[in-house]
Amino acid sequence: MSVLTRDEAQTRAQFLDVHRYTIALDLTTGEDTFDSRTVIQFTARAAGDTFVELKPAALHSVTVDGTPLDPAALDGNRLALTGLTEGPHELRIHADMRYSRTGEGMHRFTDPADGETYTYTQLFMDDVQRVFAAFDQPDLKSVFEVTVTAPEEWTVLGNGVATRTPEGPAGHWTIAPTPLISTYLVAVAAGPWYSVRTEHAGLPFGIHCRRSLAPHLDTDADEILSITRACFDRYHEKFEEPYPFDSYDQAFVPEFNAGAMENPGLVTFRDEFIYRSAVTDTERQTRAMVVAHEMAHMWFGDLVTLAWWDDIWLNESFAEYMGYQILTEATRFTDTWVDFGIARKAWGYDADQRPSTHPVAPDPDAVPDTASALLNFDGISYAKGASALRQLVAWLGEKDFLAGINVHFARHKFGNATLADFIDNLASATDRDVHAWAARWLRTSGVDTLTPRVTTADQGWTLGVTHDGSRPHRVSVGTYDLDVVDPAKLVARDRFALDVPLTEAPETRPGRRPALVVLNDGDLTYAKVRLDPASWDTALRALSGVPGALTRAVIWNAARDMVRDGELAPAAYLDAARAHLPHESDLALVQGVLSFAAVQITDRYLAGADRRAALTTLTALCRDLIRRTEDGSNPGLRLTAVRHFIDAATQPDALQDWLDCGSVPGGPELDPELRWRILTRLAILGAADERVIAAELTADPSATGQEGAARCRAALPDPEAKAAAWARLFANDDLSNYLFAATAQGFWQPEQADLVREYVPRFYTEAVALADRRGPAMAEVAGRHGFPVHAVDQDTLRLGQECLDNAEMIPALRRKLADQLDDLERALRVRGA
């Protein structure tokens, strides 16, 4: 299959104006394929040739202006249209298209809980070609009219209001025509959905899920709709352009590859966001943030769309920033930037220190085609880009920032825009040199490091900053003193603004030297920060006593970065966690610190006896947290501690007792998520077998139960179980994206390194073959979950580098392997340090 190049897209955009797609989909023709009929009305600006894209199972007919073309002329995914005259044309295409099990195109899923079937589209980047024929690029916007024939008992959802047509089959639906949108934003979801509908601001709102999840949606419907209404209203207070579509549906769909997708009028979410087990308030906040993020896309991405994929930050960075900011302003989740600081920014920092780093807004030549563009949907385009915007607002002021955004919307609504357009529009609202700021922040890669130099002076103390990097930073500096009554706590003395690099010699500040000096207090810039030695000593003694969760997040991130850079021993980080997490009040911080301690320090940065000692530290820490929450005062903290205790347990006894009793002593009751979590750990430790797994699956035959069973079976410390799991992963192609991920997650376990040693070299060759067969979505899953992360040794690194050097592989897998190997090399350096 050919990928579309930027040059080809520019040529086609200069040649064509696309006016209208009329699309008829028939979802009643079988379990493997569906019928797709497309009529495209377009105008050629001159006589010449072009092409249309589609990836059919069978191409039945093609006509241009009533003249048939030979379907055999389809070359891969391209059908040439030659000899076009200047003026209007009509292209008609009839094809059978394949359903997907990989979350691409038209995904089809049968719910094991009740046998009901659901389909939905995910047409991002170039997957529209799997559903209907299209001139598939973001700057050829068009009106889309879609009709769908579906089983009689199904409901059909789309970008506009969907209506069951009185004439014809009972299952015939017509979706209201869209305004001008890009091909990748067309959406259809069809199945026996359970729906909760309401109206807000004169528009129909709806939330939808599988019928088997209906009780869980009912439990959370008020919360989801309340968040949706609050965000909708707040966006209208900030943006002068009103919401540009005729309805707002949110469909929670099965086996979704991303967190969500911003289809206009029909946002699709992974249906794990319909919680069937207990979750923490931070997880509810995450769901709310995704709701806010996707709603921001109705303006950033849908109303005004990038012209080419080098400007994906115009979509994702803005939606990321606005999602967190709107949630903070409009809902009960007022500390969202703490979670961003401890979790999302880490994603950006890690991505930005790998060889695959790229600027937030890369040079157009660095994104020559759709395959390379797909690689840039990463922590840089999301977290770093959002951090850059937060710094921009701190520097520019929100008033001018919003004024520039509203100019941008007004000038480009229902059209396309570039980085240059956006910067020009922003510059029109301020006297500041936004173009210079963009060049320094958006066109450069890598992470700056800010290191304080604190000295004592005759009349006070001074602060200097060593700046390793090139970007200007406006930061807040927080100063703190030890509490005279309780030295385990600190009190805030002062917070002042500082521009880095310093343009003048450090000024002397009055008073004695503070016990703690924190650069980037408030986390308004994107940079690694360090603490001076005296401040670090204070933090080690009193970190949990620092006022302000966002300040503590900055300090924990500094410790995290120091571990990754070989400047702080992993065991010292664990000691700090052991000392301070039992007293931490912010749940996002507890979750973030425990996750880094478990996933990176315990499983990667430590080995052998050191790893076992680290697991003991983690279980002791979690026991402290469980004891602290016996009074029921913080169920989210207790749930977090229980989860991490399960994952770190080195002996099965306590876990088996919990499973047998159906509860943790003092709570919580074991819901399906906790039961499968315990059973997975028991399987890893050799304390569960197929009989127990099968019995649990009988009790929970849901989709997540199927995934839990797949994970447990792959985790069994048995050669036959490992061989069977490997065959399911790489010898057969019948696993869906989610079942593949679950099986891969169970397969590799640090406790079973000797048992799976023979599979480490096999991974590279077999992952390459799988990616070639199953495409980029499965390549990403295989590279993320199938990689032997536990094998931190030179042999694994050498094998991987040889694979990268010698094997032909699709770009999605190459990027994922390169990142995994860079992380592996970093782990080896940390161990060596």
Which residues neighbour 754 within 8 Å (Cβ) at sequence distance 6 or greater?
Answer: none
Spatial distance between the Cα atoms of 150 and 156, rounded to a whole number of angstroms? 8
Contact (CB, 8 A) for 299 and 241: yes
Of the residues 53, 255, 283, 294, which is catalytic?
294
86 annotated active-site: no
Strand partners, 96: 35, 58
> SS3 for 792?
coil
Contact (CB, 8 A) for 124 and 259: no
Q: Show the tokens assigned to 218.
A: 């009912």
Q: Show the tokens assigned to 283.
A: 């997880």
Is cis: bond before 138, omega within 30 of 0?
no
Q: Which DSSP symbol is given to 3?
A: P
What's the start-to-end Cα distance of the chain, in Å? Answer: 46
Per DSSP, the residues of 532-571 read -HHHHHHHHHHGGGSS-HHHHHHHHHHHHHHHHTTSS-HH
Place of tokens 């869980």: 216
**Number of CB atoms found within 10 A of residue 779's CB:** 27
Spatial distance between the Cα atoms of 198 and 726, rounded to a whole number of angstroms? 47
| Residue type at 792 in one-letter notation | V
Closest residue by Cα to residue 258 from 65, 125, 431, 78: 125
Which residues neighbour 445 within 8 Å (Cβ) at sequence distance 6 or greater?
Answer: 352, 357, 358, 359, 380
Closest residue by Cα to residue 112 from 777, 709, 722, 730: 709
Which spans in 428-523 are helix H?
434-441
Spatial distance between the Cα atoms of 237 and 220, rounded to a whole number of angstroms? 26
What is the Cα 502 distance to its own chain's centre?
36
> SS3 for 161?
coil
Spatial distance between the Cα atoms of 303 and 293, rounded to a whole number of angstroms? 15
Contact (CB, 8 A) for 299 and 239: yes
Burial of 339 from C-beta contacts in 10 A (0-12 / 13-18 / 19+): buried
Strands 162-164 and 117-122: what pairing?
Answer: unpaired
Strand partners, 155: 191
Closest residue by Cα to residue 210 from 162, 251, 160, 266: 251
Residues assigned a catalytic role? 294
